[in-house]
Amino acid sequence: MKMTLLKAKCTAFIAGLLLAGSANANLIVNGGFEDNAVANGNWSWFPASSVNGWEGSNVEIWHNLFGIASAEGQQHAELNADGGNSGAWSIFQQFGTVVGQSYDVSFAYRARESSDLFKFVVGSINSTFTNSDTTQWKLFSSSFVATSTLTTLTFTSLNTGTYGNLLDDVKVNAHVSLPESNTFALFAIGLIGLGLVRRRAKI
């Protein structure tokens, strides 16, 4: 009986880990702009229709251009892309959400020139950034509660021309909060279960 109960708890522990991992999956497709291969030390621009996950204006992608390493992965985007554009440079992505569910959002940004301006909108977040730091990446993180089954995340440049902010590592994750005591309890049960499985295997 005790062994059966222990197996049930171990199963619950594993299921909890799988659930947490699923909830932490990034809802943004190609948030690191890695899907369009660009040679090291170079850049290239693509129509948004050719960049997986994204819509809107052209997307300029850098790979270690000017020796600037990406915040994550090998590539990142410049919001103000090369090529023709009518109106403000803007890229966006839509993703499925659950009404009433809280979501965590984050992204890395870095100025190419001083006083690079852009607006970021998702859910209830509507923030304008005045960024003049060309030496390092900064991280923005916040949260919002979904009010629709489809939410749009948008970056819009407030600069003219083709020089603007660099963007990378865009993430949206469903917010999951487990009581700390439950987390430790599940972890302990999992360790005990693994120990018993190993012990029985030796017998």
Note the pLDDT of residue 17: 41
Question: pTM score, two decimals?
Answer: 0.77
Note the pLDDT of residue 178: 58
List the chain residues with pLDDT less than 70.
1-23, 178-203
Note the pLDDT of residue 102: 98
Note the pLDDT of residue 14: 43
Note the pLDDT of residue 202: 54
Q: What is the DSSP letter of 164?
A: -
Note the pLDDT of residue 176: 86
Note the pLDDT of residue 195: 52
Note the pLDDT of residue 203: 56
Question: DSSP for 43-58?
Answer: EEEE-GGGSTT-EES-
- Nearest 5°: the CA angle 27, 33, 37 is 135
- Distance of alpha carbon 188 from alpha carbon 203, whole angstroms: 23
Domains defined for the chain, CATH in brackets: 2-19+179-202 (no CATH), 27-174 (2.60.120.260)
Note the pLDDT of residue 83: 84
Note the pLDDT of residue 177: 72
> How close are the terminal C-alpha atoms of the chain, in Å?
19
| Helices of type H across the chain | 2-23, 180-202
* Burial letters 119-140, b for 16+ CB under 10 A, else e: ebbbbeeeeebebeeeeebeee
Tens digit of pLDDT for each residue in 28-60? 999 999 999 999 999 999 999 999 999 999 999
Note the pLDDT of residue 114: 72
- Alpha-carbon distances of 31 from 7, 9, 35, 64, 181, rounded to whole Å: 39, 36, 9, 17, 33
